[in-house]
């Protein structure tokens, strides 16, 4: 896991007060740019889709920071306070 977040041009937090209500298209939200980092406030899983439709479910602890280049975060993710940095 990454321990520091580099300066980002933009960020947005999802699932701030509960689980995701719908899938998040990170590529569209980032204006056609994939995210560089994520920070998880509340522990849980992150179900993501990468290039080519490859899916992965990652388990994070509170305050974890990770480098990630996912296109989509699926709504069945359980992590909360997911801050994405582009």
Asked if residue 16 belongs to a domain, the reply is yes
- Supply the mean pLDDT for the chain: 92
Asked if residue 4 belongs to a domain, the reply is no
∠ CA 37-40-42, rounded to 5° = 180
| CATH classification at residue 81 | 2.60.120
60, 65, 66, 56: which is closest to 43 by C-alpha?
A: 60
pTM over 0.85: yes
Over residues 51-73, the pLDDT tens digits come to 999 999 999 999 999 999 999 99
In degrees and rounded to multiples of 5, residue 51 shows phi and psi of -50, 140
pLDDT over 90 percentage in the chain: 87
Kindly write down the DSSP assignment for every residue of 35-61, as one continuous string.
--EEEEEE-EEEEEE-GGG-EEEEEE-
Asked if residue 5 belongs to a domain, the reply is no
Number of domains in the chain: 1
Q: What's the domain range around 56?
A: 11-85
Asked if residue 31 belongs to a domain, the reply is yes
């Amino acid at each position: 896991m990454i321990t520091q977040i580099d300066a980002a041009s933009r960020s947005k937090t999802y699932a701030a007060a509960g689980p995701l209500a719908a899938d998040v298209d990170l590529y569209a939200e980032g204006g056609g740019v994939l995210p560089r980092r994520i920070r998880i406030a509340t522990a849980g899983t992150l179900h993501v889709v990468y290039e080519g439709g490859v899916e992965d479910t990652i388990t994070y602890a509170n305050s974890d920071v990770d480098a990630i280049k996912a296109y989509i975060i699926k709504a069945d993710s359980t992590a909360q306070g997911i801050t994405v940095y582009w």
